[in-house]
Structure 1
Amino acid sequence: MKSPTKHSLGGLPITNRVRGTILHCTRYQTLSKSINLSLFSLFLISPPIIFFTRNIILQEEVNNRLAEELMQEVRNQINDGIKLQRQLELIESIDRLGLSSLFHEEIYRVLSVLSLNNCKEVILCGLRSTAICFQLLRRFGFQISEGIFDDFMDGDHDAFLPTLSDDVIGLLSLYNASYMAFPGEKKMESARSFAEILPGSIESAIGHALDLPLHRRMPWMEARMYIDMYELEDGMSPALLHLAKIHFNKVQSIHQKELKHAGSWWTRLDLGKTISFSRDRLMECFFYVVGIVHHPDYGFCREKLTQVGMLIATIDDVYDVYGSLEELELFTQIIDRWDIKGIVELPYYMKICFSALNDTINGVANHLYLDDRLEAIPYIKRVWADLFKTFLVEAKWHKKGYIPTLKEYLSNASISISGHVILFNTYILLKCKISKETLQQLQDFPNIVRLPSLIFRLCNDLATSSAEQERGDVSTSIQCYMKETGASEEEARLYISMLINDAWNDMNREYSACSKPQFSQRFIDASINLARMASFMYQHGDGFSAPSHQIKGSIKSLLLNSISNNLYERDMQ
């Protein structure tokens, strides 16, 4: 095959390049129009003042001194014999404010005692405290039965007592707790159905509470939103509130430096200009990565995961938008063999992709000890090769107009969504224990990877299916189910939503089983955060490729706009 020249990217007509169809030319143009100026480009045009003023003023020594004083005050509040109900509410607030890592010992000490006593004292405190206790115990890996709610149900334990319907705050806590359910827990199903019928006033009082269950929210975004809500709560702890603001601003300043560094990498790579048809979504990608691992100590992980995410998006567009089937097959074969010499056969833009991919893989592995690096690199290459094989399958399905069965589709699409590659690289980057056995287990798509990937895929399908069908893309799970069963689109969407709920329940059980895992807790948290990010980003449309005003606002509040902290500012004067 004659290799295209360096200028072939712009020189050949789109109709010859993209699977050889006029239809795909239209699809390319439609996609190009939908890819507007990236948020990062807008940031470069008009950088927020915060980068040059506020975060410079916040001196580290003042920040640390205030934080230590406030942390000690909050510790005293946890330990100083306050009522059990207040203690649980305080721990819940600490967790929602993103501060649980600062009070790890105190939280586990309280929850350990409750777990040993089977929460008998908590039940006497009422529905709200019982629901919070149940949620926290499962959240932090303790064993707790759904039977904790028996005292709030009728004699047969089939339904919750009607008198509870007036306890609005208790119902809200029950609603959130119900999303910690394991498969087959009928009482938790009953709890969700009962709590979903909340008085309308609760929505205006608590805003986003019913928009997305607490367990399925992006934790760091929840911390930012809850800071504003907590400030208005009766009985809030001023020390905890100000600590949360200081901590958020400190972590945000770290993320901002990382974002600027990521922008420099992307500019140097110049891949966005070389492959001009691809999505330039650096800000969205970094936001996604922060949602998976936000802890300030994981900066190297975020740096490399952002690079991984940008390459996934770019090469996905090569398969979806631009590459001919012949080129895609050749590219997939060369990646599968990792044939560096074979790249001379590739068109220029694919050579650039291969080179960037090779550099990124080496960058991910280079922080490992030599023996671990030699062990890990073949596995990293294999999960990338497996991803591109699924991209190729979808390209072939599209060319043939083939609609697979739902089972066949999910077998391929659960990998093509890229969760496997993201989590495999996350495991390496979090400096988890490297062994041949663990790497092989991760490569074999275990539940800790499969379930969040499935949720990622199905949430994506629900959000993007209509737009993708207009562009003539490959069928999603919705179309596959409709063709296979004769269901309407509405029925198909309900079925896919049910699959998402089932996957969440399976994942809850999986993470409970992982409370003494071969996988570290930080990797388990990252894994479930991938599913949470999918729920958040695709809740109201395609939050990655075509972010809504709401998503853009969330990105700005999390990454660009600091929080005013009057107590902190007075102390500095």
Structure 2
Amino acid sequence: MDPLAKLEQIDMLQRLGLSYHFEEEINNLLKGIHSSDFGKDTWKDNLHATSLKFRLLRQHEYWVPQGETILEEARNFTSKHLKDFVSNNKEENYLSTLVGHALEVPVQWRVPRVEARWFIDLCRNKHIDLNPTFLELAILDFNIVQSTHQQELKELYRDISTKIFLLLTVVDDTYDSYGTLDELERFTHAFQRWYYGGNTPTFEEYLENGWLSIAAPIVLVIAYVCVTNHVTEEAMKVMEQYPSIIRQASIIGRLTNDLSTLPFELEKGNVPTSIHCYMNEFGASDAEARQHIKFVIDETWKQMNKDRVENSTFSHTFMDICTNLARMTMWFYDGRDGFGIQYQCKTKDCASLLLLNSIPFGHEDQDD
């Protein structure tokens, strides 16, 4: 294969959820491309090849040098023209569907297994020109993994770390959604001085406290202990300070939650969120505050991506857990409270697709 064909195959394996079977082969291919092509512009005349190479190398923690400002300009330029493409190609064809999907949320921000199920169903429905062996393997693999997850869920209910997570969730959601000041007087004393004393914090003050106020940092520390074979005293001292990758994942969770649950929490009379604090500090409108918070989320993702490359303290497994937690919160709070409000159909439907409903073989319009 030529280098571009190799990259396209890697991309297809990732989209189908199969790349974990070929980690060594993929790493060897990317290492070869990175070392032989580093610092050269041999693909500069092929935008598709250049962008795919750049994305895959960065996803696999090769920090390809490139000015971030140039990337911002390129993203703004391509997004504008791709939106025009989608609006002019409203028929449900494969390419316009892929482009529209990419414009909604970057692939790096998406939950991998959710994305794999979506892409497999797309391939089955659109009759795309895909190696049938790839698709059959993806379906078989997805169903096997789903069966494994079903068994793991049974075991997790008996696991102590799960009980800790559930306790944290109950406390956090009770405070956010159902607690009254009388019932939670001690728990909310500090926040009462913020809100009812008229001392609304600045946006930065809120952020410094807000990312610690959710369960994410504690959950990630527990996850680190669970997936690390030999936990050293030095490593735990590092974890006590909440390293950058934990901090960034928690900030994304906090701000994404604020963007989606603000109306509900204001109705309940809860403490200020990041939107409220930004509006109060800068005299901004609700729309301006939300735009700034989306900018902060975007910048935080950049730092997380950089942390994955520069931080050699943690295993790839743990860094994947941090990244996936951020992805999960972005999905849960995608314009809705998909975690705290029970009647959110999108959350239930997705859980069913991932954990309950296996994928039949063959195309959707065929008898399975």
Confirm whether residue 496 of structure 1 aligns to residue 352 of structure 2. Answer: no
Match of 1:110 among 20, 23, 29: 29
Confirm whether residue 216 of structure 1 aligns to residue 13 of structure 2. Answer: no
2:248 corresponds in structure 1 to 451
Q: Which residue identity lines up with residue 562 of structure 1 in the other structure?
A: S
Confirm whether residue 90 of structure 1 aligns to residue 37 of structure 2. Answer: no
For 1:123, what is the secondary structure of its paired residue?
Answer: coil
Q: Which deviates further from its counterpart, 196-205 or 529-538?
A: 196-205
2:164 corresponds in structure 1 to 308
Match of 1:242 among 106, 131, 136: 136
Match of 1:419 among 196, 216, 238: 216
2:78 corresponds in structure 1 to 195
Q: Matched residues in 2 for 1:317 and 1:395: separation?
A: 18
Q: Matched residues in 2 for 1:566 and 1:105: separation?
A: 30
For 1:434, what is the secondary structure of its paired residue?
Answer: coil
| Contact 1:482 1:488 (8 Å CA) reproduced | yes
Q: Matched residues in 2 for 1:446 and 1:246: separation?
A: 38
For 1:404, what is the secondary structure of its paired residue?
Answer: coil
| Contact 2:259 2:335 (8 Å CA) reproduced | no
For 1:536, what is the secondary structure of its paired residue?
Answer: helix
1:358 corresponds in structure 2 to none
Matches within 5 A, 1:140-151: 140-146=60-66
Q: 1:501 to 1:207 in 2, by over 3 A?
A: closer
1:229 corresponds in structure 2 to 122
1:527 corresponds in structure 2 to 322
**Residue deviations 1:441-485 (CA, integer Å, cap 9, x gap):** 111121111111111100000001111111111110000011111
**Residue deviations 1:396-450 (CA, integer Å, cap 9, x gap):** 5355464211122111111112211111011011134311111111111211111
Q: 1:490 to 1:206 in 2, by over 3 A?
A: closer
| Contact 1:221 1:554 (8 Å CA) reproduced | yes
Q: 1:476 to 1:564 in 2, by over 3 A?
A: same
Q: Matched residues in 2 for 1:121 and 1:238: separation?
A: 34
**Residue deviations 1:115-146 (CA, integer Å, cap 9, x gap):** 01226586167211211111111111113122
**Residue deviations 1:259-295 (CA, integer Å, cap 9, x gap):** 34556x5xxxxxxxxxxxxxxxxxxxxxxxxxxxxxx
| Contact 2:259 2:290 (8 Å CA) reproduced | yes
Q: 1:314 to 1:227 in 2, by over 3 A?
A: same
State the Cα RMSD in Å: 2.5
Q: 1:96 to 1:308 in 2, by over 3 A?
A: farther
1:558 corresponds in structure 2 to 354
**Residue deviations 1:68-95 (CA, integer Å, cap 9, x gap):** xxxxxxxxxxxxxx23222211101112
Matches within 5 A, 1:166-205: 185-197=68-80, 198=82, 199-200=85-86, 201=89, 203-204=96-97
Q: Which residue identity lines up with residue 77 of structure 2 in the other structure?
A: F
Q: Matched residues in 2 for 1:402 and 1:211: separation?
A: 37
1:487 corresponds in structure 2 to 284
1:137 corresponds in structure 2 to 57
Q: Matched residues in 2 for 1:98 and 1:122: separation?
A: 30
Q: Matched residues in 2 for 1:566 and 1:89: separation?
A: 23
2:231 corresponds in structure 1 to 434
Q: Matched residues in 2 for 1:479 and 1:491: separation?
A: 11
Q: 1:393 to 1:435 in 2, by over 3 A?
A: farther
Long gaps (5+) in structure 2: 90-94, 364-368
Q: 1:472 to 1:327 in 2, by over 3 A?
A: closer
Q: Matched residues in 2 for 1:415 and 1:214: separation?
A: 27
Q: Matched residues in 1 for 2:189 and 2:96: separation?
A: 45
| Contact 2:260 2:334 (8 Å CA) reproduced | yes
| Contact 1:217 1:536 (8 Å CA) reproduced | yes
Q: 1:492 to 1:91 in 2, by over 3 A?
A: same
For 1:117, what is the secondary structure of its paired residue?
Answer: helix
Q: 1:130 to 1:457 in 2, by over 3 A?
A: same
- TM-score if structure 1 supplies the norm length? 0.57
Q: 1:557 to 1:206 in 2, by over 3 A?
A: farther
Confirm whether residue 508 of structure 1 aligns to residue 308 of structure 2. Answer: no
Q: Which residue identity lines up with residue 263 of structure 2 in the other structure?
A: S
Q: Matched residues in 1 for 2:189 and 2:16: separation?
A: 43
| Contact 2:61 2:308 (8 Å CA) reproduced | yes
How many residues were matched structurally?
A: 349
Long gaps (5+) in structure 1: 1-81, 147-183, 266-302, 333-390, 568-573
- Once the two structures are TM-superposed, the CA of residue 556 in structure 1 deviates from its matched residue by 1.2
Q: 1:396 to 1:254 in 2, by over 3 A?
A: farther
Percent identity at matched positions? 36
